[in-house]
Amino acid sequence: MILTKISLELRHPSVRQCLRNCQDMHRNLMSAFGGMARAENSLLYRLVPRKDSVDLYLSSEKCPHAEALGKNGFTVVAQRSLDPLKKIFVAGSRWRFDLVAMPGKKENSERKNSRRVFLRTPEERAAWLTRKGEQNGFRVLGVQEWGESNVWGSRGDSPLSFVSVHFSGVLEVTDSGRFWSGYCHGIGAERAYGMGMLLITRP
């Protein structure tokens, strides 16, 4: 796995369009991988606003083509391998985490195309994160919410909209294999649109 840090040129028309439309952001990032499917490449990304700029962190199995990104105002500024982390994400280790995710549930889980609805209360969202931890090899020791954001876009003639929540806290790895899988493949739904990427630092 490779982590790529990208600086966004906020005056570039393509960047401004991508920030308005999450589907355009998805399409732009995928163009840097020569048509490879997102899931096949385990691609996740996270937008991190700064005071006067926006950074984008991208994790993927393959390196993105910097030239393809650069022509649209996305400048690659750093890259590193994430693979050494696999050896230190051992059961019992504790880490600070930062996560933007879409905590939701399907209205009718028996239907294949049932609509996913946002969980409205902090208690529901905390329970959701606990369940995701159990599924992905970690236990949440403490968590705080930092607010909700609306994400907008359109896929063809179909509008896209959902609500994301910013979580941070401390977790403990309970199963190293499942945790590595969750770290690489993301947590929750809407991972094509900047959700689910765990940012991890030492406590």
For 117-153, the pLDDT digits (tens) are 989 999 999 999 999 999 999 999 999 999 999 999 9
Mean of pLDDT values over 104-124: 79
Over the chain, what is the mean pLDDT?
A: 93
What is the model's pLDDT at position 106? Answer: 81
Confidence of residue 105 (pLDDT cuts 50, 70, 90): confident
Common-topology check for domains 2-81 and 85-201: yes
What is the model's pLDDT at position 156? Answer: 85
Confidence of residue 110 (pLDDT cuts 50, 70, 90): low
DSSP assignment of the chain = -EEEEEEE-TTSHHHHHHHH-HHHHHHHHHGGGTT--TTTTT-EEEEEE-SS-EEEEEEESS---HHHHHTTTEEEEEEEE-TTHHHH--TT-EEEEEEEE--EEES-TTSTTPPEEE--SHHHHHHHHHHHHHHTTEEEEEEEEEEEEEEEEEETTEEEEEEEEEEEEEEEES-HHHHHHHHHH-SSS-GGGT--PPEEE--
For 172-185, the pLDDT digits (tens) are 999 999 999 999 99
- CATH, range 85-201: 3.30.70.1210
The matching CATH number, chosen from 3.30.70.1200, 3.30.565.10, 3.40.190.10, 3.40.50.720, for 2-81 is: 3.30.70.1200
Confidence of residue 35 (pLDDT cuts 50, 70, 90): confident
Provide, rounded to the nearest whole percent, the portion of the chain with pLDDT above 90.
Answer: 84
In this predicted structure, the answer to whether residue 93 has a pLDDT above a threshold of 70 is yes
What is the model's pLDDT at position 112? Answer: 60
| CA dist., res. 41 & res. 37, Å (int) | 6
